[in-house]
Amino acid sequence: MSTTETRPGRSAAALSAPVLLAIVFTLLAWASAFVVIRGIGDSFSPGGIALGRLLVGTAGLAVLLIGRRWVRPTGSDLALIAVYGVLWFGAYNVLLNLAEQTLDAGTTAMVVNTGPLLIAAGAAVFLGEAVHRWLLVGLAVAFVGVLLIGFANGVRGAHLGLGVLAALAAALTYAAGVLVQKRVLGRLPTGEITFLGVAAGLISCLPFAGALITELGTAPASATLGVVYLGVVPTALAFSTWGYALSRMPASQLAITTYIVPPLVIVAALLFFGEFPAPLAVVGGVLCLVGVGLSRHRSRAARTVPGTR
């Protein structure tokens, strides 16, 4: 695929090396976030983690924007960015942190990653993106993989639990945030959009300032460093690389790559928390990867038929 930005509704032909590297970094960083959030959950509240993460993330993004081109956004652009920031950076982070208060990291990642199904449907309805059959097949196969991971981790019957409800709500805000973000990509630089979005999320989390201040006074240094890590790597850096990739390929195709995150989280949880996934979870993880591969089949074929959707 060329490095020019794709318009909503157009299919990406192929992944350039920079876009592929951006996707890989984003997935690894976001997978690490699930593990870190779980590790510091005893020291910080969901709102405290979100606000601390966004404070650091806003500062990090400001540094990344030094010397970069800045385009004056219109009123409608600012409104969309505010919605995107409050949904994805504000509500999503609080809900994700809340989910990990009761669910393990792997299960939370698995539930949250139902988001691509919502993004694929929303992209067809609101962005005019084509939902071709291989994307649907890939979504179906990957979703079966997610379900298998769920069964392997004993999620059956837990759908009424607060953690699962919070994770599902996080998936919804994540999907809505991606769709709103896609509306302004191409009109403004990616870094600028991400910075303004994180700043909007930060403002929405200011009510948690009291809790964060109190928790910083009692949390161990390792937990505080965890909050800093969340702000720098999964937020400032990974959301920048995500925005870069999203500006160069359809939202529905990029979103399905996040199905790789749950298997990565399970492996990380095994290394750091000693959680051993059941064989069925391994099968589910393989299906997630297969689904991602199938979803790209149509895009590869489209290279030989320019202009097709």
Task: Tell me the CA end-to-end span of the chain in Å, nearest whole number.
Answer: 14
d(CA 200, CA 209): 15
pLDDT in tens, 259-298: 788 889 988 988 888 766 567 777 877 887 787 777 766 5
Q: What is the pLDDT of residue 24?
A: 95
Q: What is the pLDDT of residue 111?
A: 79
Closest to 146 measured CA to CA, from 3, 283, 30, 304: 283
Residues of the chain where predicted confidence (pLDDT) is lower than 50: 1-13, 156-160, 299-309
d(CA 41, CA 61): 25
Q: What is the pLDDT of residue 159?
A: 44
Residue type, 284: G
Q: What is the pLDDT of residue 147?
A: 77
Structural domain spans, the chain: 17-302
Contact (CB, 8 A) for 292 and 259: yes
| Stated pTM of the model | 0.79
d(CA 5, CA 13): 12
Contact (CB, 8 A) for 163 and 99: yes
